[in-house]
With several copies, the nearest count.
Chain A
């Protein structure tokens, strides 16, 4: 029988090497796989390229990974937020590189990687500085920019429930980029709030089919970034 269950977050992230490209699910605090990120901080891989919509908040989760000087480059759409302090600090000191990608283009580039599409055209950024240096082309009288797929070595994902085959469901808007990142990474590592038996997720309701998932760890009472920040917590 196929069983993708991994006993701990520590083991789940153990093989992520220095220099890896890592997608991290979540939109702000919602869907952020805090326990996996903290395990990656403990593990210590350096020089990572991280792909996430944002750059973390406070001094926990993704922000703490940046604060621990493990990230050399962020690919994101919105690196500023009300409680984002560590990324701006590192960025202004020239310690971290930023690749700014519009949110829809970021989502579509990740999906393209998962779907085997090396490039596609979009009107987003046409006429702006973000289109500079990009190939442009007209279709049906409108100008479009060519965008390339965006792949990763690993994806760190949080979900509501998973079965041993890696079928996943999410909770509300915590879904966001996660199903796309599962498709686009060579190795997808998932922390699940509940591990259910095989067949425990209705085949009609599966959001991420198990083919896109490599490792599943149960984290039954995950902490939430917003709660940690409200409590003034730091990691490590």
Chain B
């Protein structure tokens, strides 16, 4: 039985929380799909670390320029009103707090907002960090999108990360196939449930406690 959101639906749900006019950096994987689900009447401007603000869709074969790629090294296009710049300017946008939202995938996210998405810490593995540690420290809001559990059913939302951290206390909100969950000073707190998913299921599949939704009445 399938319950909850698909990858596309997670992305669409995430896009709902991004205000019009936001400057957005999308990580690889589900985060990339967010660009497909921009709500009616809104526009986001996409930043890619390698020096482009105003990233557009992948090019057709004809319009491909081998020098125009995104941070994931895939060919992209530039929208009207785009700008190119060098890496120090690009990371000034990130580290100077100018980007509004960064949407990232993860291996683990903790109830205190810690995120671990760059290394399993396995000895001998080749570490590779890219711009992840810059993004989580610099962007105003860090949204994590992820399956609620690993393929083997282990929780990815945990009390404390066991993998090496990308950043400590940096995540605002988590979007999974089961739910939307805020990081609050008191830990995880439910915002939304995916269709057909119960709060109990979310609690069972989370590695630590999850608070019920805030009473906004």
B-binding residues in A (CB < 8 A):
1-2, 27-31, 77-82, 87-88, 91-92, 98, 100, 102-108, 110-111, 113-117, 122-130, 163-165, 167, 170-180, 183, 198-199, 201, 203-204, 206-207, 209-212, 224, 226-227
Q: Which 6 A-B pairs have the closest CB atoms?
A: A199-B80, A127-B168, A104-B91, A104-B134, A116-B95, A206-B83
Chain B interface size band reads: 35 or more
Residues of A within 8 A of B124 (CB): 92
Decide yes or no: A103 and B91 within 8 Å by CB, A81-B73, A209-B53, A211-B98 being known contacts: yes
Residues of A within 8 A of B65 (CB): 171-172
User: Which residues of B from 32 to 53 have beta carbons under 8 Å from A?
Assistant: 43, 45, 47-53
CB distance from B41 to the nearest CB of A (A): 10
Which segment of B5-13, B101-109, B159-167, B197-205 sits at the interface?
B159-167
Whether B53 contacts A77 by the Cβ 8 Å rule is no
Task: Specify which of A126, A170, A183, A211 is in contact with B168 (CB 8 Å cutoff).
Answer: A126
Task: Specify which of B23, B48, B80, B137 is in contact with A211 (CB 8 Å cutoff).
Answer: B23
Residues of A within 8 A of B130 (CB): 77-78, 102-103
Give A197 to B167 CA distance when docked, in angstroms.
Answer: 40
Whether B99 contacts A107 by the Cβ 8 Å rule is no
CB distance from A200 to the nearest CB of B (A): 8
Whether A98 contacts B126 by the Cβ 8 Å rule is yes
Decide yes or no: A183 and B92 within 8 Å by CB, A80-B128, A103-B134 being known contacts: yes
Whether A163 contacts B81 by the Cβ 8 Å rule is yes
A-B contact pairs, 15 of them (CB 8 A): A1-B43, A29-B69, A31-B67, A78-B129, A79-B127, A103-B87, A103-B129, A111-B92, A122-B137, A124-B138, A126-B168, A128-B168, A173-B70, A199-B81, A211-B99
Whether B87 contacts A116 by the Cβ 8 Å rule is no
Give A107 to B71 CA distance when docked, in angstroms.
Answer: 14
